[in-house]
Every structure is written in structure tokens, then in C-alpha cells.
């Protein structure tokens, strides 16, 4: 950590294994080793610090299926401020225990949409509590955007990615990536926005030309289960080369298994769906269908991380999908 930042600069790892599969250089931005084990703390911590600097804030509130809630709880633990997290019914007991371990109060709700509406209502009735919106808060986007500057600094000198691959839940990470590539002169770099089928409200929203409510969320990638995509993203993507694509849960889980063997990291299916673009050998077609080439430069995959995974969970998912471990 540096200065008043509550997150670290994460490694950018060249993966020979994935490069061999892709037949092109592949780099992994390892947000899975970030504090709180996901990229989320970048944006949440920045937003909290900004609110505290403005004054009048006693504590923080958010809504989350897991990693965002944990990032806020972790941040508030470091800042010695109270936190309250509204979570949907599909959030795992494992994640709830982790969130509570940092002193946060957890409020269970029936769905992703209800946890959002209750968090908003609570902060309107109690203005001394600040709502940190995972997807709509510009300070959150700014915090996430710094990973692009880190990537640019760590790639071989003069390298420009052929693409950046990242998973999409509610759109906060993607907004940060787009702000980052704009700030670093990479506006022409395509961003492949990956979702699992069943947590694909970005893809559905693009097709509909408006926000689509993703309720119920049916994917095993629970932490992609935001109730909706930020409206800001729907406007912003028009100015960038954003390619939306989806893969089934099975491909995401298979990528998690292979990644654990190849790089000795356990990540959630929410991260696995981005890795699956290379493991399932679909990235080249995704790019070429939009007039881009993987040969134009190195591929950068954001390994967004996640906490809702361990060996037992991954083995059960493998069994559920009849995958070889």
C-alpha cells in the first residue's frame, strides 16, 4: 500500500501455459492476490476515503452477493468505521461468515433487487450512513481504473494489448477499465466483457437497448449476480470497443480447475469465465467476429479473484458438471 491507499499494486504475470494455448502472449492481472482477494477493494476503499474527507459520515452501507460486501467490511475494519451489508438470498454462508468476521452487520434479503432497494432506503432514512454503490459511484470507477495504469507500466515497453478480457457483474469494474484505457491512450483497445449464462444481464441489456433486471440469477457464478447493469455503462460503451460475450457455467468451472493446476490459484467461476476465453479457445473468434485480431498485441486477462471458493467447492462444482479433476 502507498499513501492513503488501502489496496496494493498487483502483479502482471506472463503465462506461458495460456500463451501456448492462445498462440499469442497472455498476461494475467492477478487481482486475486489483492487485499480482500478481489479487485473490489480498489474502488470501495477510494470511495470510503473520499466520503470521510467530506465529513458527516458515521459508517458505510452497500449491497452485494459477496466480494463487494467483503471489500467494504475489510475497508471499514481498516478505517475503524462501522459497516452494514445487504445481501441476497443466494449469497453463500461462507461469504456471510467472512463479511461478519470484519465486524459488518449483514442484512439478508430475498433477491438481488431487494438488497439494492433496502440499502438505498436505509441510507435515505439515515443520512449519516453513506451508501457505497458498487456500480454507480464514480469514486469506485476511479479506484478500479488504476489497474490499467499498472498494466501499462508492467507490460514490455511500447506494448499495447490486443484486448483486455474482464468479467462483468454490475458494470463497476468495466466502467473502471474504460476510464483507465481512456486515461492511458488505449481507447482503441477492445475490451472483451465476459459473463456466464444465467448472470448475463449486460449481454441482455445490450440486446434490449436498455437495462434488464437479472432476477432470478441462475448461474453458479454467484458474485456476478448484480440485479442490473449500471445505466452509465450503457451510455459509455458506445464510445469504446466493448465486445460482450457469454459462456456456460461449465466452461467457467472447467477454467477454474485448469487454472488451479496450471497456476496454483483458486478463483471463482466469476473469474473463470474470463480465463475460459483462452482455455476454451474462443477468444480469437470473439475478436475476429468484430474485426480485431489476437495477434495485434498481448492479451491481458483481469483475474478478478473472489472469496467464494475453496477446494471442496471447486471439486463439487466439477462433479456437478461431470468434469475431470
Contact 59, 81 (CB under 8 A): yes
Note whether 109 and 225 are within 8 A (CB). no
Q: Where along the chain do the CATH 3.40.50.1100 domains lie?
A: 12-39+138-320, 40-131
Q: Which residues contact 142 (CB under 8 A, 6 or more apart)?
A: 43, 46, 176, 179
CA of 189: how far to CAs of 148, 161, 182, 234, in Å? 12, 7, 10, 18
Residues whose CB falls within 8 Å of the CB of residue 295, separated by 6 or more in sequence, listed in order = 24, 162
Q: What is the dihedral of CA 262, 266, 270, 272, to 10 degrees?
A: 10
pTM score of the predicted model: 0.96
Q: Is the pLDDT of residue 22 over 70?
A: yes
What is 12-39+138-320's CATH number? Answer: 3.40.50.1100
Q: Is the pLDDT of residue 6 over 80?
A: yes
In this structure, CATH architecture of domain 40-131: 3-Layer(aba) Sandwich (3.40)
Share of the chain above pLDDT 90, in %: 89
Tell me whether the omega of the peptide bond preceding residue 216 falls within 30 degrees of 0, making it cis.
yes
How many other β-carbons are positioned within 10 Å of the β-carbon of residue 264? 7
pLDDT tens digit string along 219-273? 999 889 888 899 999 999 999 999 999 999 999 999 999 999 999 999 999 999 9
> Cβ distance 165 to 69 under 8 Å?
no
Q: For residues 302 and 166, is the Cβ–Cβ distance under 8 A?
A: yes
In terms of C-beta density within 10 A (0-12 exposed, 13-18 middle, 19 or more buried), how is residue 304 classed? buried
CA R_g for the chain: 18
Residue 88 near residue 118 (C-beta atoms within 8 A)? no
Q: Which of 47, 69, 320, 88 is nearest to 199 (CA)?
A: 88
- pLDDT for residue 130: 98
CA separation for the pair 87, 255 (Å, rounded): 27
Confidence of residue 325 (pLDDT cuts 50, 70, 90): low
pLDDT confidence bin for 5, thresholds 50/70/90: confident
Does an H or E element contain 131, and which?
strand 129-131
User: Is residue 1 over pLDDT 80?
Assistant: no
Distance, CA of 101 to CA of 95 (rounded, Å): 10
Determine the pLDDT at residue 3: 53
Q: Shortest CA distance to 116 belongs to which of 230, 271, 235, 204? A: 230
Please report the pLDDT score of residue 113 as a whole number: 85
pLDDT of residue 2: 57
CA distance 323 to 257: 9
Mind listing the pLDDT tens digit for each residue in 276-324? 999 999 999 999 999 999 999 999 999 998 899 999 999 999 999 999 7
Sequence-separated (6 or more) residues with CB below 8 Å from residue 312: none
Amino acid at each position: 500500500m502507498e499513501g492513503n491507499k488501502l489496496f496494493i499494486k498487483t502483479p502482471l504475470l506472463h503465462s506461458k501455459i495460456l500463451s501456448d494455448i492462445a498462440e499469442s502472449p497472455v498476461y494475467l492481472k492477478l487481482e486475486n492476490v489483492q487485499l480482500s482477494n478481489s479487485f473490489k477493494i480498489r474502488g470501495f476503499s477510494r470511495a470510503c476515503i473520499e466520503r470521510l474527507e467530506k465529513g458527516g459520515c458515521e459508517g458505510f452501507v452497500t449491497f452485494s452477493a459477496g466480494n463487494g460486501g467483503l471489500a467494504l467490511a475489510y475497508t471499514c475494519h481498516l478505517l475503524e468505521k462501522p459497516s452494514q451489508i445487504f445481501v441476497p438470498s443466494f449469497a453463500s454462508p461462507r461469504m456471510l461468515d467472512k463479511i461478519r468476521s470484519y465486524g459488518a452487520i449483514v442484512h439478508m434479503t430475498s433477491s438481488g433487487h431487494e438488497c439494492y432497494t433496502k440499502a438505498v432506503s436505509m441510507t435515505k432514512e439515515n443520512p449519516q450512513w453513506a451508501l457505497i454503490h458498487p456500480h454507480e459511484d464514480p469514486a469506485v470507477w476511479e479506484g478500479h481504473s488504476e489497474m490499467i495504469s499498472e498494466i501499462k507500466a508492467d507490460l514490455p515497453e511500447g506494448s499495447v494489448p490486443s484486448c483486455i478480457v474482464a468479467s462483468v457483474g454490475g458494470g463497476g469494474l468495466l466502467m473502471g477499465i474504460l476510464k483507465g484505457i481512456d486515461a492511458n491512450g488505449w481507447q482503441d483497445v477492445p475490451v472483451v466483457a465476459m459473463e456466464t449464462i444465467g448472470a448475463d444481464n449486460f449481454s441482455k441489456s445490450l440486446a434490449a437497448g436498455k437495462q434488464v433486471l437479472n432476477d432470478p440469477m441462475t448461474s453458479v457464478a454467484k458474485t456476478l449476480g448484480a440485479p442490473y447493469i449500471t445505466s452509465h455503462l450503457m451510455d459509455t460503451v458506445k464510445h469504446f470497443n466493448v465486445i460482450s460475450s457469454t459462456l456456460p457455467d461449465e466452461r467457467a468451472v472447467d477454467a477454474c480447475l485448469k487454472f488451479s493446476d496450471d497456476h496454483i490459484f483458486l478463483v471463482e467461476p466469476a473469474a473463470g469465465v474470463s480465463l475460459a476465453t483462452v482455455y476454451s479457445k474462443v477468444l480469437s473468434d470473439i475478436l475476429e467476429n468484430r474485426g480485431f485480431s489476437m495477434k495485434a498485441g498481448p492479451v491481458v486477462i483481469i483475474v478478478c479473484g473472489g472469496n467464494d471458493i475453496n477446494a471442496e467447492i471447486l471439486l463439487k462444482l466439477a462433479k456437478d458438471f461431470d468434469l475431470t479433476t
